[in-house]
Amino acid sequence: HMVFGDSLSQRLGAIYCLYCLYETQPFKPAFKIYLSL
């Protein structure tokens, strides 16, 4: 009954992890292109 809430929190966590990875990547342009696809 909490599937939506759990999936939403997991999605936000994944986005946060991707953002942290993006901030620490030396090849930001390529990673930005990858995220924009």
pLDDT digits (tens, 9 = 90+) for 2-29: 566 778 888 888 888 888 877 777 666 6
**Helix (H, G, I), strand (E, B), or coil: what is residue 25?**
coil
**What is the model's pLDDT at position 10?**
87
Instruction: Enter the pTM of the model.
Output: 0.45
**What is the model's pLDDT at position 37?**
64
Banded pLDDT at 1 (limits 50, 70, 90): low
**What is the model's pLDDT at position 2?**
57
Q: Cα dist. 17→6, 10, 26 in Å?
A: 16, 10, 16
